[in-house]
Amino acid sequence: MKLLLAGGTGFIGAPLCRRLAQQGHELLVLTRSPDAHRDEPGIRFLLLADAWRDALDGVEGVVNLAGEPLAATRWNPGQKVRIRDSRVETTRHLVEAIAAMPRKPAVLVNASAIGYYGAHGDEELTESDGPGRGFLADTCQAWEAEARRAEAHGVRVVRLRIGLVLGRGGGALAKMIPPFRAFVGGPLGSGRQWVSWVHRDDVIGLVEWALARAEFSGAVNATAPQPVRMAAFCREFGRALRRPSWLPAPAAALRLLLGEMTELLVTGQRVVPRAALRTGYPFRFPSLAGALEECLGHGADDGN
């Protein structure tokens, strides 16, 4: 299968590309800096700014993971514009290019996030629940709306609402390890908010699942089947690192440090992957203990 990937060099995209290439797919990866990446067997890196239409010629499937990292820096007004535009505008240009192709790809797997649902309490959230309010919820709604425009051109669209991604060598865990190793790690805010996490291997697996199965379409929660409360998450994290987890980080102090991005940490959503479970997706890491053991055990690096 010939595939086009946007955002194929990041924390999720890079290992996804390696997995797909190993399976024999031909990959075209759009990036802002193709010279920084050497073509590998089955993988060719192209400049993101080049004509989308040329890159799409003959492509059978598209995976769009492009987007400014949410935790890259404090959310000032300029950063919020970059977060939104890197998702919404990139998806718009991609779908416009798909619309112009005489032969359309069969499927678009487009990233989104559980931020779509906004802040919630203890109720379970599935793909049938509506959007919330706030910057992230508004961004996700606009992002998904652009992706859904491809459906009018006969393209099957899968919108992956991705949770907190756990994996070796980066992502959220890399930012959490240093304070825990220094014995100052602990729950954020009240500790009672829900954390809807997912192992990176299962995000990759769900992308593969979406590409291969014609019955898989629409919104899909890319989260593990067992969300946990923040306090339990930190206890399990501390146990995996053999460090205590007792010192909570006050929400007010976090807001001074992180600004509006704090809402990612001190509010939560109890999101369950009903669509994935209904179609029989076999989660590799359904439980947090197993996921953290793979990420942190057996000499795993600390993300530095």
Tens of pLDDT, residue by residue over 122-178, are 999 999 999 999 999 999 999 999 999 999 999 999 999 999 899 988 777 777 777
> Helices in the chain by DSSP H: which ranges?
13-22, 52-56, 77-100, 135-148, 171-181, 200-212, 230-241, 251-258, 263-266, 274-278, 288-296
Three-state SS at 299: coil
Cβ pair 71, 79 in contact under 8 A: no
Torsion angle defined by CA atoms of residues 239, 244, 245 and 250, in that order, rounded to the nearest 10 degrees: -160
Q: Distance between CA atoms of 139 and 146, rounded to whole angstroms?
A: 11
What is the domain range of residue 237? 2-296
Beta bridge partners of 304: none
Q: Which of 24-33, 180-189, 235-244 has the highest mean pLDDT?
A: 24-33
Cβ pair 9, 31 in contact under 8 A: yes
Q: Minimal CA–CA distance to 202: which of 158, 160, 143?
A: 160
Question: How deeply is 101 buried, as exposed, middle or buried, from its count of CB atoms within 10 A (0-12, 13-18, 19+)?
Answer: middle
| pLDDT top residue among 44 and 225 | 225
Per-residue pLDDT tens over the stretch 20-61: 999 999 999 988 777 778 888 889 998 776 667 778 889 999
Query: Is there a domain that residue 304 lies in?
Result: no
Mean pLDDT along residues 277-283: 96
Neighbours of 127 (CB within 10 A): 19
* pLDDT of 256 strictly over 70: no
Query: Is there a domain that residue 301 lies in?
Result: no
Q: Distance between CA atoms of 84 and 28, rounded to whole angstroms?
A: 24
Domain containing residue 161: CATH number: 3.40.50.720
Cβ pair 75, 261 in contact under 8 A: yes
Query: Is there a domain that residue 303 lies in?
Result: no
* pLDDT of 298 strictly over 80: no
Q: Minimal CA–CA distance to 37: which of 62, 64, 10?
A: 10
Beta bridge partners of 198: 165
Cβ pair 222, 203 in contact under 8 A: yes
Query: Is there a domain that residue 231 lies in?
Result: yes
Domain count, the chain: 1
Query: Is there a domain that residue 292 lies in?
Result: yes
Query: Is there a domain that residue 302 lies in?
Result: no
* pLDDT of 240 strictly over 60: yes
Total-model pTM = 0.90
